[in-house]
Every structure is written in structure tokens, then in C-alpha cells.
Amino acid sequence: MNARDLPLFELFTRLQEAGLPLGLNEYAQVIQAIQAGFGISDKASLARLCKALWVKTEDEAYVFKYHFDKVFKEGLSEQPNVPLSYVGSENPNNPVLPNIANLLQSIIIRRVVIGVFTGVVFLTIGLAGRRLYQLIGTQAGVESTSNKTDSRDNKNAFPLAISLGASFTIILLGGGVAWLLIKNSASDEDESSDSSATTKKTNLSSTSKLELTGHQAQAKLALANARPAVSYESGISSISTTTKADYFPIKKRKLQQSWRYLRCNRREGPKLELDIAGTVQQIGRHGFLVKPVRQATRLNRTDLILLLDQDGSMVPFQSMGRQLIHTAARAGHLPSSNVYYFHNCPRGYLYHDPFTRQPEPLFRFLTQRLSPTSVVMIFSDAGAARRNLNPDRVQKTRDFLEPLTRYARRVVWLNPIPAERWHSTTAEPISKLVSMFETKPTAFKLAIDVLRGQKLADSLF
């Protein structure tokens, strides 16, 4: 048996698609470990083995559990189909496309087969009904002669044209019903997996909870934006737990990776490190060693401040906002005191909490909180979600941005609404006041570049 025929390979590819950072080496190691006798006693030990090698965070553990149960519940015989064709695809670097095609294919086939089956059932019922009708007709004919001619007429008129037409309609109808049934069952499956996932997550960190609960709003929005990739994926139930993250325009992992670039290393604090170059220079000057020259340690001194627009049109993006905060904090950038909230546009105050209960005067924020090392990221739709142009809001935003850009080192604006929808909304004039980026992986990377001080060709700053 080929190593890739194992149901494990199905699990492996599923996890890869779910975004776990796995290479073939990881797969080979599981095989190696199995050969050495690990994880062969029962299903649970196999799960533990795969988990130890493939799962690297607690959040991933839930994704793993979902897929493991799925793969090993469905029985082993039908497993290799999907991964095999996936492996055989010519484009191993882009596994998503062939695999989506596979999924689509299997879904279509499933639906057609069940549709035809249901159609046949309906047809049989129809034919049986007709037979019954005939029987009743003949019996009735025995009893009353006046109805006899009618029933004979019916018998003659029924056969070919109508019965063909009826059976065709019945097949279509059956197909339709079956399709609806499958659709429902798929969404049921989705929901049940949701609820089971949620119940299992007693210890889950808050963000991953958000990922699961907040996805509905994100999904709706993604669908409303009519982005083919996202709306398409939402129709596929089989990878549901993991595609929830896809409703975030940027995946968590991508955010984490991008934040990593945001750093501003400078030597600060007590002089602890020996400055070898400085010492050698000093010896050169004096001809002997007076004392070693020391220098401060190089540390990452990025002072990132996040300003988040709350409520109103930003409600669908709250999870995304929290994800931003969470990932930035875990990249070591963001003490919680560096997150501020506002509604639409900061006027007079910024708030330390999303419920706008702890205000901080804007003036104090600008003059005392901000320092020349501060970099500010604003997360707001800038009025693009309302799809109108509000000159008043533009003016107010300008009044806020002008001092902000003076006091902070750099300012970027992250807009969750796609750029093509900024046109002729409030966002358009605002995007000319500040470097505004869409919430997309590439754009987010550019935003980080701006915060790092790298100039962009098309940027105003």
C-alpha cells in the first residue's frame, strides 16, 4: 500500500488546507513514528501521535479534532479518492484549485445521484398511483356504466405524452427536493459541527472563540460584497470549521506574519553590552585600554497604537478588529493600553474600552500619549459602508488627522471595505488625507511597510 493511500494522507491534506503549517516532512515523520510502533494501539493513540506532530497551538487542536473525527468516522474505504486526485494534480504549489474542483465535483455528483434516485422513487410512486387509479377506475366501471367511457378516455389520454411529461417533471421535482434536502442537511451539519465545536471549547482562548462566533456576520458581509472566492467557500460544508477563518479578509497567520515586520530596533536603556568596535577605536586612540566601552542593548521599541472604529457600520468587522488587537499583542507590540476606540470619527475624546465608558481627551492623547516613536493604525471604514459622501465627516476626520500626523511618527488607515467601494463615498476624500489600505493580505503588508517608514510610490507620506 502506498503511503499516500492511507486515510492519514486525507487528514494531512485537510489540515494543510485548513492552514496548518505542514510540510511533507511532517507527514513522513508520522509514518516513521507509526513504523516504530507509536500510535498503533488504537484510534486515540493515533490521534495523539498525529496531534503531537502536526498541531502546534491549542487553537489548531480543535481544527485537528474536527478533521480527525471526520476522516476516521467516515470509514476507511472511500478515503483515498480525494487526496489521490489532489496529489496527481499538475500544480502542487497551488493545491487549492484542484481540490476545490474535486470538492465541487463530488458535491455535484452526490446531488445528481440523489436527485435521480429521488426522481425514480417519485416516478415509481406516480406509476403505482396510476395503476391504483386504473384499478379504482375499472372497479368503478363495473359499478357504474356512465363513468366507464370517461375512464377509458382517461386511459387512452394518459399514456405517452402526459406520463412522459409528468415523469420528467417528477424527476426534476425530485431532484429539486433532494437538492434542498442536501442543502439543509449540509447546513445542519455545519451548525451541528458549530455547536459541538463550541461545547468542546471550554478552555479556548477568546480570539478563537471570536473566530467561530463572529464568522456569521463576516460571512454575510463577505457574501454581500459578492466576492466569489469567499461566497463560494461558504457553500462547501466539508471544510466548515476551517473556512470560518476565511471570512476574515486576512487570515490570522498572515496577520501574525505581517506584524513581525513591524519593528524599530534601537539601543536604549542601561549600557550592558560591550561595544567592541568602540573599544577597539578607543584603544587605537589612546594606545592602550582605558576601559571597555559599553552600549545599550538593541531592543524593539515600536510603539504601536491601534484606533478602532466601533459600532454602526463597523459592527460586522468587530471580530476582525479584535483579531488585529490580538495578533498585534501576541507579536509583542501592543500593551492593552495602546488600544483606543471611537465611533465614526474621534471628536474630542478617544475611549479605552469598546463601550466608550473610559474617555481620554483627544488633546491629552495627542500631546502626552503620542511620542515621536508612535505609529498609529486606524481601523475604520471611513464611511465607505454607508455608500454616501458626508462632507461633514470628511471635515471632522481631517481635523483629527492633521494633528495626529503631526504628533505621531506615522499613521495608516486600514479600511475593511474593499477599495473599489470607496469611490464617491466619504472614504474617497479621506483616503487622500492618509495612507489608506484595504484589509487584504498584500495591502496589510504595505500598511506595515508604511508604519516601518518605507515610502510607497503611490503614497502621500
Interface residue list for other proteins (CB under 8 A): 21-23, 26, 29, 32-33, 35-38, 41, 45, 48-49, 52-53, 55-58, 61, 203-206, 253, 256-257, 260, 263, 272, 274, 276, 279, 283, 288-289, 292, 297, 299-300, 327, 330-332
User: Least distance to other proteins from the beta carbon of 55, Å?
Assistant: 6
CB atoms within 10 A of CB 192: 11
Number of H helices, E strands in the chain: 19, 9
Question: For residues 294 and 364, which CB has a smaller minimum distance to other proteins in the complex?
Answer: 294
User: Least distance to other proteins from the beta carbon of 14, Å?
Assistant: 18
Question: For residues 209 and 387, which CB has a smaller minimum distance to other proteins in the complex?
Answer: 209
Q: Which three cell numbers stand for residue 358?
A: 473610559
Residue 21, CA atoms < 13 Å, CB-side half-sphere = 7
Residue 176, CA atoms < 13 Å, CB-side half-sphere = 6
Distance from C-alpha of 319 to C-alpha of 245, rounded to nearest angstrom: 11
- 255 DSSP β-pair partners: none
Distance from C-alpha of 27 to C-alpha of 32, rounded to nearest angstrom: 9
Can you state the angle between helices 146-157 and 96-143, rounded to 10 degrees?
160
426 with 390: CB under 8 angstroms? yes
User: Least distance to other proteins from the beta carbon of 280, Å?
Assistant: 9
User: Least distance to other proteins from the beta carbon of 204, Å?
Assistant: 7
Distance from C-alpha of 250 to C-alpha of 273, rounded to nearest angstrom: 39
Question: For residues 57 and 388, which CB has a smaller minimum distance to other proteins in the complex?
Answer: 57
Question: For residues 134 and 279, which CB has a smaller minimum distance to other proteins in the complex?
Answer: 279
Question: For residues 404 and 451, which CB has a smaller minimum distance to other proteins in the complex?
Answer: 451
Distance from C-alpha of 213 to C-alpha of 346, rounded to nearest angstrom: 28
CB atoms within 10 A of CB 102: 17
User: Least distance to other proteins from the beta carbon of 304, Å?
Assistant: 13
User: Least distance to other proteins from the beta carbon of 293, Å?
Assistant: 10
Question: For residues 296 and 419, which CB has a smaller minimum distance to other proteins in the complex?
Answer: 296
User: Least distance to other proteins from the beta carbon of 279, Å?
Assistant: 7
User: Least distance to other proteins from the beta carbon of 206, Å?
Assistant: 6
Distance from C-alpha of 440 to C-alpha of 230, rounded to nearest angstrom: 13
* CA-to-CA separations, 172 to 78, 356, 425, in angstroms, rounded: 29, 56, 46
User: Least distance to other proteins from the beta carbon of 272, Å?
Assistant: 7
Element (H, E) at 169: helix 163-200
Element (H, E) at 378: strand 374-379
Question: For residues 31 and 100, which CB has a smaller minimum distance to other proteins in the complex?
Answer: 31
Distance from C-alpha of 22 to C-alpha of 14, rounded to nearest angstrom: 11
Question: For residues 38 and 407, which CB has a smaller minimum distance to other proteins in the complex?
Answer: 38
Distance from C-alpha of 68 to C-alpha of 11, rounded to nearest angstrom: 6
User: Least distance to other proteins from the beta carbon of 402, Å?
Assistant: 34
Question: For residues 259 and 317, which CB has a smaller minimum distance to other proteins in the complex?
Answer: 259
User: Least distance to other proteins from the beta carbon of 444, Å?
Assistant: 16
Can you state the angle between helices 96-143 and 7-17, rounded to 10 degrees?
110
- 91 DSSP β-pair partners: none
User: Least distance to other proteins from the beta carbon of 298, Å?
Assistant: 9
Q: Nearest to residue 60, comparing CAs of 251, 309, 295, 238?
A: 251
- 406 DSSP β-pair partners: none
State residue 432 phi and psi, 5-degree precision.
-85, -15
Question: For residues 298 and 423, which CB has a smaller minimum distance to other proteins in the complex?
Answer: 298
Triad 345, 416, 362: Cα angle to 5°:
25
Question: For residues 73 and 291, which CB has a smaller minimum distance to other proteins in the complex?
Answer: 291
Element (H, E) at 307: strand 303-309
Question: For residues 269 and 359, which CB has a smaller minimum distance to other proteins in the complex?
Answer: 269
